[in-house]
Structure 1
Amino acid sequence: MRRLGLLSVAVLLAACSKSEAPPEPVRPVLSVKVQALSEESLGRFAGNIQARYESNTGFRVAGRIASRNVDVGAEVGKGTLLATLDPSDQQNQLRSAQGDLAKIEAQLINAQANARRQQALFDRGVGAQAQLDIAQTDLKTTQASLDQARAAVSQSKDQLGYTELRSDHKAVVTGWSAEAGQVVTAGQQVVTLAQPDIKEAVIDLPDTLVDQLPKDVVFQVAAQLDPAINTTAVIREIEPQAQSATRTRRARLTLAETPVGFRLGTAISVTLRSAVKPRIELPAAALQEVDGKPRIWVINSQDKTVAPRDVSVLSRTDSTVVLDGGVRNGERVISAGVNSLKPGQTVKFDEDSQ
């Protein structure tokens, strides 16, 4: 009887072990947290920071450049000497004008004395009216010549001053077009000055994209070396005609702010985005095809189990897939290994992963 009881217990235990399946193991998975996209990227373009106002400056007289006093990149104040011409010709012209002035000043003294003598003789009744008229006319003519000589001297001094090229305002030297020893004509471009107070972003946009831009489009502008230095910008002007070689049109953007890191010449990356209907972007590996229908696996945040969910696909690439809803912001979706999952299976994942 004791042997029969032990046999019955063994049979009962065997039956129980066959009816209860072992629990599914907890499976480690990769997951991403869903974040709805409300903007669509239309492209990223390279550009740089430039001054809105630049001036090409040159000498007001012709001559040979004697010296260049500042280098490219130098910050200059109003009145700073930038370059000089050989002043020999202008100095000679000034000496000649000063000599003419001295001669006419001497002639004026004689004309004044002669006019006084003729007036005195006429007043005593011994002088002729004709002689007095001639003396007074000579005095007026000499006075006019004196004014002309003084103007010539003043003009010669100005010409001599024009051999010095000075800055009209606070600026940054961005380029030289002539070297010391070079002969330049009056008005020829010699140096380019940029006013550093007002800066803007300059990029080249494809001609086909320009025609599609909305009027209120906003650009994201960031420094290429440090993307943390960034701001937004809007279009100030676009060239009306595309460049024949590249089929691009230069666009100048007004910056909402001007960070300290945005110095003249700073390389920037400009991203163009437009508002779209909220959509979900996931890794392509998160999508599973079942009977021709796309679906994803969503993690229950409470009990860490997974469940399949049918979705609608808007677009896909080799690495990503864009869904038209079907999942909410903040939910977690399995991003790899979806083909071996079972509904209700418990998974383990890193909650800090994105």
Structure 2
Amino acid sequence: MKPIWALSIGLVLSACSKNEPPPAPVRPVLSIKVEALSEEGLGRFAGNIQARYESNTGFRVGGRIASRNVDVGTEVEPGTLLATLDPTDQQNQLRSAQGDLAKIQAQLINAKASALRQQALFDRGVGAQAHLDAAQTDLKTTQASLDQARAAVDQARDQLAYTELRNDHKAVVTAWNAEAGQVVQAGQQVVTLAQPDIKEAVIDLPNTLVDQLPKDVVFQVAAQLDPKTNTTATIREIEPQAQSATRTRRARLTLAESPPGFRLGTAISVTLSSAIKPKIELPLTALQEVDGKTRIWVIDPQNKTVAPRDVEVLSRTDSTVVLADGVKNGERVVSAGVNSLKPGQTVKFDEDSQ
């Protein structure tokens, strides 16, 4: 009887164990750690680094360019010879003016001698007052002609000096608009010089965005080839009128710092953002629609289990959603595989994923 009783108990226990549901399997999932957004991106735009102060320089006289002495990108000190004109015409004008000056100087010597003779004759009583007056008038006229001839020489000398194009401040040559052998007019733009001491970022912004920029807008400026080279910037000026072809307005930004990597012409990426009320942004795959409600699955990092939580969606795109509430900053949420989860189910996830 004892073996039969033991066998009966074993059959009962075996039947009970078969009716118990097997434990849910550990399911691997993708997850992210929630981080509240405190800034709203307004766009990313390409631009470059330019000098705040640029000057378009040309010759003060016209002529044929004889030489171009520096190349684009050259740093030049004050007084550097940038280019020259053929000085033949100006040299001839100077020689002519110098000849006229010598002629007037000789005439002045004769006028002085004549005035002295007439004065001596008048003092002895044998000279006429009219002859003295005429001699003195001729002396004054010749003296005035001498001053005019000297001014003409100075002007001709200046015209000759103007055949040399020199800069009056430290600068970088950024563009040439004329080549050797080309005939240019007085004042025509020949070379562009930029002062490298003060730099700024230059970008083109859509006209519609410019009108909506908040006062506290933040600009993040980074070099495209080296994003580690970056700084912040503020608006210095925006063109009042949009370009008709692109409907954009050029904006010039004052850099908070000028890293060595920000050389003139450096291509940059400018990101616009604005401070906002903190909000949560998640991948669209983290949402699950059940009975008309939207929920997410939050992971308990200690027990490695999941639990559903209802949330309210503020906005969504093709890949992301923005939540009004329902999840806290720092919590971990399942980002893929939500449709196969059950409350309290054990999951496997990468704790280092963000």
Asked whether the two chains share a fold, i.e. TM above 0.5, the reply is yes
Alignment of 1:135-284 (within 5 A): 135-284=135-284
Match of residue 133 from structure 1: 133
* 1:208-236 deviations in Å (ceiling 9; x for gaps): 22211223322221111122211222222
Counterpart amino acid of 2:34?
A: V
Contact 1:216 1:234 in 2 (8 A): no
Q: Distance in 1 between matches of 2:140 and 2:93?
A: 26
Name stretches of at least 5 consecutive residues in structure 1 with no aligned partner: none
Match of residue 88 from structure 1: 88
Q: Distance in 1 between matches of 2:318 and 2:127?
A: 116
Q: Distance in 2 between matches of 1:12 and 1:204?
A: 81
Counterpart amino acid of 1:131?
A: H
Report the secondary structure of 2:325's partner residue.
coil
Percent identity, please: 84
After TM superposition, the structure 1 stretch with the greater mean CA deviation from structure 2, 4-13 or 318-327, is 4-13
Contact 2:216 2:274 in 1 (8 A): no
Deviation at 1:5, TM superposition (A): 4.6
Contact 1:80 1:167 in 2 (8 A): yes
Q: Distance in 2 between matches of 1:127 and 1:318?
A: 114
Structure-2-length-normalised TM-score:
0.95
Q: Distance in 1 between matches of 2:276 and 2:83?
A: 55
Match of residue 104 from structure 2: 104
Matched, 1:300 2:300: yes
Q: Distance in 2 between matches of 1:321 and 1:124?
A: 117
Match of residue 353 from structure 1: 353
Deviation at 1:154, TM superposition (A): 0.5
Matched, 1:315 2:315: yes
Report the secondary structure of 2:180's partner residue.
coil
* 1:113-161 deviations in Å (ceiling 9; x for gaps): 2222222222233322222222222211111111111111000000000
Contact 1:200 1:255 in 2 (8 A): yes
Name stretches of at least 5 consecutive residues in structure 2 with no aligned partner: none
Counterpart amino acid of 1:150?
A: R
Counterpart amino acid of 2:309?
A: R
Structure-1-length-normalised TM-score:
0.95
The RMSD of aligned alpha carbons is: 1.6
Aligned length: 354
Alignment of 1:47-62 (within 5 A): 47-62=47-62
Q: Distance in 2 between matches of 1:120 and 1:216?
A: 90
Deviation at 1:6, TM superposition (A): 4.2
Match of residue 121 from structure 2: 121
Counterpart amino acid of 1:134?
A: A
